[in-house]
Each structure stands twice: as structure tokens, then as C-alpha cells.
Structure 1
Amino acid sequence: MTEQDSATPIDPAHLPLLITTFLDAQFAHDADTAVPLCLPDAVVTDEGYDFRGHDKIRDWVTNAASEFTYTTELTGASRLDDTRYDAIHHLEGDFPGGVADLHFRFALRDGLIETLTIEP
């Protein structure tokens, strides 16, 4: 059994406000809202690349997937424990493949985002 197998499904509306606020800001490329929700040494991993610290995360939020037009829908969520959550998004747009279901796996510490890993 993997760690993800032991996750407890939750209604996406019950994700912590910190996570939903970050997701909304990230999809809107609003770094001024997203970055303060992360620890100074936070790491975002997207497409196999690590973005560590506020400056790199700011660049990532501002530029990630900005060359594409897409819609996103929060379709599911799970809680691994008190500090780790998985938010599942369905994306459709003009990016290669046109459709993707992505897991946004968050780890929280001290009331802020410690890590975010985005993967299929």
C-alpha cells in the first residue's frame, strides 16, 4: 500500500483556506497573493523542476503555463494527515495533449506551505 492509498478523501470545499487561496492565486498568476502563503524555504516541484524560495516561486507563479489558455476544475481532494493534502485538478486547454488531471500535493508547516508537488 502506498502513502496515497492511505489518504482520506474529503470534499474539496474542506481543503484548508491556505491551499484554496494559493491555488486560486497560482492559476491567476497572482504572485503577490501566492508567495506570502509559502515558507521562505518552500519548494514547488512542477514538471520535474524545483523552485525553491520566494523569488523562484514568484517567477514560477508568474510564468508557469502562461503561454497556454486553459480551464481548471478542482475535481477531488484527500487528506493524508494534519499537514498533507492532495488537490486534484482537471485541466483542458491548448497545451500539448489538451487534457490533464493533475495532483497538487501540499505539505504545510507553521501555517504556511512547505512543499507543493504537481504531478499526474
Structure 2
Amino acid sequence: MTHPLPAPIAGYIEEDNAGGDTARWFAENAEVRDDGSTHRGREAIAAWKRAAHAAYDYRSAVTGVEPGEVEGQHIVTCHVTGSFPGGEVMLRYRFTLDDGLIARLEIAP
């Protein structure tokens, strides 16, 4: 890793790997964009994660961290393995932090 992993991002990844409550790491009005869908607000984010965990058994391993183009942004590359088609994928998570919480997350290959 070339850039330190901030606590809210580390907490999100650890909680996600455990199948836990990742929504607590997000701001109340946060936004997540993943797989063509947008989820706004903590409740919608929690529902998105519950559905993902119900559909797939997966784990993410961080392979890289770098700063983004704007302040508070961190790009985290993860090797994701699980019970989805193909069984593994490299994903880029573009986190934007605000006031110690995740304000925005975009996930893309």
C-alpha cells in the first residue's frame, strides 16, 4: 500500500468481510454507486449490503491504496473472491470521506 488506509475505510472493509453492519461507517446522507445502481442514505446502503451478502459469499483483500483527485478521496483496489460468476474480480473502490465517515463510494472494475 502506498497510502495509509483511513479508519472508516478499514472498518468498512473489515465489517463487510465479516458480513456485518457496514452502514455505520457511512454519513447519514451518503451515496453508493455500484453495478449500475445508486443507493442513497444509510438505510438504503444497509439494504444494499444485506442483499449482496444474501446473494453471494465474498471476501475482499486490499491490494492497493492511493489518494484520489480531490481532498478526502481514497482509491482502494481489492481482490474480491466469492460465490459469484467467475469467482474472483479486481475492483476499485473510490471512497470520499467527510467528517470521519464515508460520504460517497463508487465501486467499479
Give the structure-2-normalised TM-score.
0.87
CA distance in 1, matches of 2:52, 2:59: 14
Q: Which residue of 2 aligns with 1:45?
A: 33
Larger-gyration structure (1/2): 1
Identify the match of residue 56 of structure 1 among 18, 40, 44. Answer: 44
Aligned length: 108
CA distance in 1, matches of 2:14, 2:54: 15
CA distance in 2, matches of 1:69, 1:109: 30
Q: Which residue of 2 aligns with 1:4?
A: none
Runs of 4+ residues deviating >3 angstroms? none
The answer on whether the counterparts of 2:58 and 2:82 sit within 8 Å (CA) in structure 1 is yes
Identify the match of residue 5 of structure 2 among 8, 15, 35. Answer: 15
Percent of counterpart pairs with the same letter?
31
1:27 aligns with 2:17: yes
Structure 1, unaligned runs of 5 or more: 1-8
What letter is aligned with 1:96?
P
Identify the match of residue 24 of structure 2 among 28, 36, 39. Answer: 36
The answer on whether the counterparts of 2:30 and 2:40 sit within 8 Å (CA) in structure 1 is yes
The answer on whether the counterparts of 1:29 and 1:63 sit within 8 Å (CA) in structure 2 is no
Instruction: Deviation per CA, 1:42-82: give whole Å up to 9, x if none.
Output: 00111111110011011112221432233321111111254
Q: How much is the aligned-residue C-alpha RMSD, in angstroms? A: 1.7
| Residues 27 and 66 of structure 1, relative CA distance in 2, 3 Å threshold | farther
> SS where residue 64 of structure 1 aligns?
helix
1:78 aligns with 2:66: yes
